[in-house]
Structure 1
Amino acid sequence: MAEFWTDKRVVIDSDPATVASNVACRLIQRIAKSTSAGKTVHVGLTGGMIGTQVLEAAGANPARASIDWSRVHFWWGDERFVDREDDLRNERGARAAFLSQIDVPAENIHAMHAADDGVDADTAAEEYAAELARFGQDDQPWPSFDVCFLGVGPDAHIASLFPDRPEIQVKDRAVVPVYDSPTPPSTRITLTRPVLNSSKRVWMVLVGTDKASALGLALAGASYETVPAAGAKGRKRTILFVDQAAATNVPIELIDGEY
């Protein structure tokens, strides 16, 4: 029998649309609570179909109008190194789904370089690390995200940290380029584990039967080198938001019915 990590909790909804709606509500509530207390909030965004669905639901949430967005900064856990107007860019999807629907200052949106910006992926990674360092917290050269969203691939990758690749083991840099990615496009930029795991809350969102195996391995405490999602952990909470299709083998003791 697998030994499951008890520091991760699972929230199950019926279908992807309900997952997206409920996660979006939690995000808006979390941001509203912190900003109304006068705090600056840093949010790490993800891409992918379900990540974009969450942002679309957040962009349609009426409560967004009551938030002081000047106190909120948005970052990306990874980016596809393609041209800026390429639909594959996580930034492009986030702007269309959510960022264009809120009154957030342009300087609070911290996008990674695109392939047509005139720099290579190595330089893009270095410059994003420098941008993170401008907002360093807790004696670290990066901010501690109040919420860090992570999608999870069928292979259990998070951000652009893929199984059995050197990037998953990097501890001395905040941002690294990824070449010859096993999932197209081949060149990417990604935050490293130390940055992701310094987040107060890590929210992983995964739906569909093809994610059931990745979810099971992440909960079973598999090696993070082989199962990157298993190594994702927030300093306060680590929550996996899933639908019924992905939750086939989730032990009942890990299901959180209150979060």
Structure 2
Amino acid sequence: MTKMVDLLDEFGEATVVLTGGTMGSAVLSEINNSPARDTLDWSRVHFWWGDERWLPRGDAERNETQAREALLDHLGLDGSTIHAFPASDEGIDLDAAAEVYALELAAHAHEGATLPRFDITFLGVGPDGHVASLFPEQPGIRETEATVIAVRNAPKPPPERLSLTLPVINSSTRIWMVLAGADKASALGLSLAGASINEVPAAGVEGRRSTLYYVDREATAEVPENLTATEIFWTAADATD
């Protein structure tokens, strides 16, 4: 919350990219339950998503739906600052949906840029090391030209998804990666060790100013101590930016 206040003071508005999954919803629920929630002018915060499941609008498994229930629907927003991915019941196919979101990104880019200024991007990390819907050994993680891709044959349901590409994610000023549980220990360790991006997509994530890891004890249980040095590894207690 403190960082958001600073961003609003500096730029007049802030832009946040949300993640889905259990951890994404948990983070937003914590913000919603915070006594400081209403001290922030949320009408000046733009919300985007790193990826989305190709499901009907309002489906309980959509990242958008979960984010709305956890936080966004409690903020009294008019909707103009919530930039959700298209849904499968809106009369367009998956490829067209990717183009629609790419055009929306471009439409909100600042002068001279091709993308909005992403101040903070939240990312979860799967046990296989995937981020957003960029999965190991799939073409999406190697995409460098497109800003948004259609994902088919994802190794976890649903198989069809939409995702920002890695260059777009890495255009973010700050990336905050959230991991919890022993099943994430391998992905965390390989990411910090500089594994192949094709094999561990999370290893390719790097914010322009900072990349912070917010983790629990279980996620670090098997990670060598030298990989959790403070210059490359952060917990919530360390983070100042």
2:182, 2:95 → 1: CA distance? 36
Deviation at 1:31, TM superposition (A): 1.2
Q: Are the counterparts in 2 of residues 72 and 104 from structure 1 also a CA contact under 8 Å?
A: no
Match in the other structure for 1:253: 229
The AA in structure 2 aligned to 1:178 is V
Decide whether aligned partners of structure 1 residues 197 and 137 sit closer, same or farther in structure 2, where only a CA change above 3 A counts: farther
Match in the other structure for 2:8: 35
TM-score normalized with structure 2 length: 0.92
- Count of residue pairs the alignment pairs up: 232
| Selected match of 1:173 from 146, 171, 194 | 146
The AA in structure 2 aligned to 1:168 is I
Deviation at 1:37, TM superposition (A): 3.6
1:57, 1:200 → 2: CA distance? 23
TM-score normalized with structure 1 length: 0.86
| Selected match of 1:219 from 186, 189, 192 | 192
Match in the other structure for 2:33: 60
Which structure has more relative contact order (CA 8 Å, sep 6+)? It is: 1
Q: Aligned residues: percent identity?
A: 47
Kindly indicate whether residue 125 of structure 2 is the aligned counterpart of residue 149 of structure 1. no
Q: Could you tell me which runs of 5 or more consecutive residues in structure 1 were left unpaired when the two chains were aligned.
A: 1-27
| Selected match of 2:174 from 201, 205, 218 | 201
**Structure 1 runs of 4+ off > 3 angstroms?**
137-140, 254-257
Deviation at 1:84, TM superposition (A): 1.1
Q: Tell me the secondary structure at the aligned position of residue 49 of structure 1.
A: helix
CA deviation map 1:141-187 (0-9, x unaligned): 21121100000000000000000100111111100000111111010
Alignment of 1:1-259 (within 5 A): 28-137=1-110, 139-248=112-221, 249-251=223-225, 252-254=228-230, 255-256=233-234, 257-259=237-239
1:228, 1:38 → 2: CA distance? 31
Deviation at 1:70, TM superposition (A): 2.1
CA deviation map 1:195-217 (0-9, x unaligned): 10000001110100000000000
CA deviation map 1:75-115 (0-9, x unaligned): 00000001112111000000000001213331100000111
The AA in structure 1 aligned to 2:167 is P
Deviation at 1:71, TM superposition (A): 1.4
Q: Are the counterparts in 2 of residues 147 and 202 from structure 1 also a CA contact under 8 Å?
A: yes
Decide whether aligned partners of structure 1 residues 84 and 244 sit closer, same or farther in structure 2, where only a CA change above 3 A counts: same
Q: Are the counterparts in 2 of residues 81 and 185 from structure 1 also a CA contact under 8 Å?
A: yes
Deviation at 1:258, TM superposition (A): 2.7
Q: C-alpha root-mean-square deviation of aligned residues, in Å?
A: 1.4
Decide whether aligned partners of structure 1 residues 250 and 207 sit closer, same or farther in structure 2, where only a CA change above 3 A counts: farther
The AA in structure 1 aligned to 2:92 is V
